[in-house]
Structure formats: C-alpha cells, structure tokens
Amino acid sequence: MIISDTGVPERHIAYDEWGGETMLRLEDGWCSALDRETFMCTIYENRPWICREFEMGSYECREERVGLIEITQTDT
Ligand code: SF4
C-alpha cells in the first residue's frame, strides 16, 4: 500500500478494489519498480513508506528470502 506521498511515479501505481494505491506488480508477481537484473529498486529515493520501514536483514526480510528459496527449489 502507498499510504503517504513519497513521489512514486504514476507508472508504478495500481489501484485496489477500494481505490487504494498499491505498487504495481508485473506478471512475475514482483514490484514493477524492481530492476530484474540487479534486484535493486529503480525508484529508491521515491520508494513508498512501507519499503522504508521494511528493514533489510530483519526477521521478516529473512523469512521472505527463505520462502522465495523454497519456491525456487520446488519449481526446478
Ligand atoms: S523497495 Fe522494492 S517493493 Fe519497494 S518500490 Fe522499490 S522495488 Fe518496489
């Protein structure tokens, strides 16, 4: 959810069924602002508040990474 104005470019914004602004996800399910080759945020200075709060290396971050690894390994 985009809950404060940090300057997210319109091309990366989607709207949920209640009209709330969210980050657009592409067909691969990942945020449209993510560079697929470098895995870096292409709008880092304008990223949403929640992205600023999600601490790299935190418990939640590590849990997400473990989940992605498991998904990747079951796909192969
Ligand atoms: S930090 Fe990640 S989720 Fe947030 S806008 Fe950037 S690419 Fe998207």
Q: Could you report the per-residue pLDDT of 15-60, keeping only the tens digit for each?
A: 999 999 999 999 999 999 999 999 999 999 999 999 998 888 888 8
Query: 3 lies in a domain?
Result: no
In the chain, the number of structural domains is: 1
Query: 43 lies in a domain?
Result: yes
Query: 2 lies in a domain?
Result: no
Rounded to whole angstroms, how far apart are CA atoms 1 and 74?
29
Query: 5 lies in a domain?
Result: no
Query: 51 lies in a domain?
Result: yes
Please choose from 11, 45, 51, 64 the residue to mutate so as to test ligand 1's pocket, defined by most ligand atoms within 8 A of CB.
Answer: 51
| Domain coverage including residue 30 | 10-75
Whose tokens are 């989940």? That residue is 67
Query: 14 lies in a domain?
Result: yes
- State the distance from the centre of ligand 1 to the C-alpha of 31, rounded, in angstroms: 6
CB 51 within 8 A of CB 42: no
Closest CA to 18 of 33, 3, 39, 32: 3
Query: 1 lies in a domain?
Result: no
Question: Is residue 43 within 6 Å of ligand 1 at its C-beta?
Answer: yes
Query: 65 lies in a domain?
Result: yes
Band of the pLDDT at 75, cuts 50, 70, 90?
low
